[in-house]
Structure 1
Amino acid sequence: MKANQKYFPLLDAAGKLTNKFLVVSNISPADASAVIGGNERVVRPRLADAKFFFDQDRKKTLESRVEGLGKVVYHNKLGTQGERVERVRAIAKGIAQQLGDAKLVAAVDTAARLAKTDLLTDMVGEFPELQGIMGGYYARHDGLGDEIANAIEDHYKPRFAGDELPRNTVGLVVALADKLETLVGMFGIGNLPTGDKDPFALRRHALGVIRMLAEKNLALDLSALLMAAVPAFGDKITDATPALADFIYDRLAGSLREQGYSAQEVDAVLALQPQRLGDVAQRLAAVRAFAALPEAAALAAANKRISNILKKAGDVDAHVSEVLLKEVAEKNLYAALKDVVPKANQQFEAGDYTASLKTLAALRAPVDAFFDGVMVNAEEMDLRLNRQGLLKTLHDAMNRVADLSRLAS
């Protein structure tokens, strides 16, 4: 009605669909009955077809359709929809085991097994935009209950920017597994989006994964999720996990900038590729609070200088020998590190990133004094390595929340 006839379906006060619709006409006849009757005649056969398909579909259970998915080609390099369902099941099972108990694992497996079966129904064949939605209706008709039905209906969500996320944990796990299967599979066969061409909606799938992990604050590491999905494909793909991770972080960066974070703030946080996307917002808030401190500019500049020194030095061990600390400034810096870093680390582990960075701001004076009074690349090898180790210790401590050198102007 909406897409083809441009009619407006009408809802009641509770938001439920009624048996009435609104038509806008560019003529104003004295008797509108002919116009009304004509439009009703257009709609009636379509509704009759839909009712017929609905009644026919309900004669077969979703379970009885599972085998038929093995005859539907998904992709010539990735096999059938049946094979795809098995991959989604394997990925979903792994996620469910991390998030819940055996009950969740069983429910997730049922929903994943049946999620694509409505593709074989007459209703979805006629109205493809109803995939998932009809699966939910048929699951309820089969007596599977709301948890499974909602999960089947929701596993395509979020379908577009701003769409709602799956309503329950079962749906969330299946939706996550479904999108990961698509991303890992397509990257694994080299089928990447180019320019404005993205036939498998990989950008949208990546944003869906990001939203679910971040907004639901799931205790799942991104890289581990991607790597865990690869074995489900057997020898059909090559492991493209690093490229896929970069792709997802790139989508995340764009999304965060659209939300109002500066490019510098986003760059600082995502440079570390944080694995738990649920704490990215906290890291960004901490970086913004740190940038407002009077010590921020000097520490960011020092951090950039330290990064360059360590890069040139190669593989540096974060070890300091107190015996080899000769200059007053390096002794003071080491003492400050021993005093400040344990407290900052404790705050970091507690998830208080803002407090952690504010605590580290106390290092500004000893860091400035160190660079004013100490030659890092001393001629004596043991002194040089010790000073590099001191800087490595400082660098590691300063950059747990974000790469602060990215804040240097």
Structure 2
Amino acid sequence: MLTFALSILGPLFKLWDRILDIDPLRHVPAVTAPDPSWSGLVWLPAIAALFTVVGFAGFRRRDVNRPLPRATAWRGVRAERSVKPRRELDRLLARSCPGPLSRGRARPEEIRFGGCDMRLENKVALITGGYGGMGRASARLFAREGASVVVAGRNHERGQALVAEINDSGGTACLAELDTTSQQHWDAAVEQVRQTYGALHVLMNIVGSNAAVMFPNVDVDAWDKVFEINVTGTVRGIQACAPLMRDSGGGSIVNIGSVGGITGNFSTAYSSSKWALEGVSRSAAYVYADWGIRSNVIQPGWIETDMTAAMQANPALKKMNDEAMNTTVLLRRSGKAEEIAYTALFLACDESSYITGTDIVVDGGWFSAAPYLANERTHHLLDMLRSKSEAGPEGPSPRS
């Protein structure tokens, strides 16, 4: 290729020299010597043409299978990522987040356990009260995402039914008898997990009491019982599970609190115990950080669970509840147990690996808007403000 280029450029060089030696006024060869300041520039066009031809030949002959330089390769990867088709992203999201709340995706009963890219694959999770509303939804979801689930509680019949459902669907689950107020039960449950699975990565504390213990007539014994379940039982569980979680490479503690624990309400013992749970969880995050253990709280609002099923079954009470949700909650409805389960899944898996010592409020916007929302929606203040804004500073135009 180089020889071919030189054979073409040779005559061109001679022609260029002849042009420079011609006097344009007389069309005869010039007798004076050429200007030395221009002599070095004679070869510039030829050199540029030569490099152009050689470079083009090298480009044509380059091995397309040869690896690109690192910087070039990285730019190619970034470009490839930036043009990933949207349908591929949708497919990945649908595969990683199946469930009843995913619009246009399969319902839970249509999804088999197991698959690719499971968010809790090779993890072991212990869920207290795992057969209740939020616990049942979380156990199903965790198993669907690849976890071996330990359903812990006192109701053997309900717990065993859930375990059988998960195992029959291709998941992995077992039942552990557990009274969260008993240290012996906690120690036995942790040993069962160690013997069965050899590790523990997720502890989800759901068991709680909402007994109505209120001022001005607080029964101290009833108060102590609420705190024994909601606070002390959680402390026992964290202390019992933390060593095995450390030996397993670390993990995540997910505690279920309540918006009543960040606002206060009429139920004195319940609200106070949920405030205390926040402190317990943050202290655990502080102390166990060097063990690779994270600790966080989910603060649910009004969630439809087994505890609220009786109210939902009563038409009059359901109507009152629906009106309250429509007035005080931004999303105008109560929450679903599955919505708590998906939040717990996020805190349990490695996607939240840099989140600890905090809480996530899942209440449809009640906590942030309730003080103003009820008044606004009752008196339609927002519509009034919009009308005033549209009318302008001169006020509404006179009606015809």
Shared topology, TM-score over 0.5? no
Larger radius of gyration: 2
TM-score of Structure 1 vs Structure 2, range by shorter chain: under 0.3
When you count helix as a share of all residues, which structure comes out higher? 1
TM-score (norm 1): 0.23
